[in-house]
Amino acid sequence: MVHASQSWHGPQGSPSPHGPTPPSSGRAKRPLWHWLLLAAVTAGGLLVVAIVGVLIVVQLLGRGDPQDTLDDFYTSLGEHDCELFMDSTTEDFRDWTGWTTCEVFDEQLGNVSAVDYRIDERINRRGYAIFEVTETYSKNGETIEVPMRFYVRRIDGQWDLDAFEQVDPSADPII
């Protein structure tokens, strides 16, 4: 029996026979798929940022060190390693020095032994690393010290010795 104070209007009416309904906030609750999609997009964005970060780090670490090229150059002279000489120098450098073949390389080194060097200064420029070096070598039993300046150039991602100059024109360089 329905009392007059309980005005029940039926299924579409307002009050329910089971008691009052909670007030509506006016906004519908977001479905689960919405939150899953938002999480997936966020995860994808973070993944892209992480991949870009890794690529940048790999590029920075993979650039090489121009000092390694200078080390290779002097190692090639000390060990009479023509292949290492060719790998660590540009074609322009070899043409300029005249050391264009392994036969010329071996002939020019002749009695040179115990090649050593000390880096006095390193200057980085756009695409170049400039090394002030004091090279020391023995030729026919005599120790010779020569102040030099080497230009190591980055070409296609690889550092190669491109040019040199004598700091003291009266010195006798190995090349």
Q: Specify the pLDDT at position 18.
A: 62
Report the domain count for the chain: 1
CB 145 within 8 A of CB 135: yes
Mean pLDDT over 161-173 rounds to: 78
CB 70 within 8 A of CB 93: no
Q: Specify the pLDDT at position 86.
A: 93
The residue that leads in pLDDT, 55 or 42, is 42
Task: Look up the domain containing 101 and give its range.
Answer: 66-166
Asked if the structure places residue 53 within a domain, the reply is no
Q: Specify the pLDDT at position 22.
A: 60
Asked if the structure places residue 92 within a domain, the reply is yes
| pLDDT at 168 > cutoff 90 | no
Q: In the chain, what is the straight-line distance between the N-terminal and C-terminal CA atoms, in Å?
A: 116
pTM, 2 dp: 0.60
Asked if the structure places residue 49 within a domain, the reply is no
Rounded to the nearest integer, the mean pLDDT of the chain is 81
Asked if the structure places residue 105 within a domain, the reply is yes
Asked if the structure places residue 152 within a domain, the reply is yes
Q: How many CB atoms lie within 10 A of CB 115?
A: 20
| CB contact burial 37-64 (16+ within 10 A = b; e otherwise) | eeeeeeeeeeeeeeeeeeeeeeeeeeee
Asked if the structure places residue 22 within a domain, the reply is no
Here the CATH number for the domain that contains residue 70 is 3.10.450.50
| pLDDT at 94 > cutoff 70 | yes
pLDDT 10s digits, 6-51: 555 555 555 555 666 666 666 778 888 988 999 999 999 999 999 8
Asked if the structure places residue 118 within a domain, the reply is yes
Asked if the structure places residue 113 within a domain, the reply is yes
Q: How many CB atoms lie within 10 A of CB 130?
A: 16
Q: Specify the pLDDT at position 60.
A: 60
pLDDT 10s digits, 113-140: 667 889 999 998 888 899 999 988 877 7
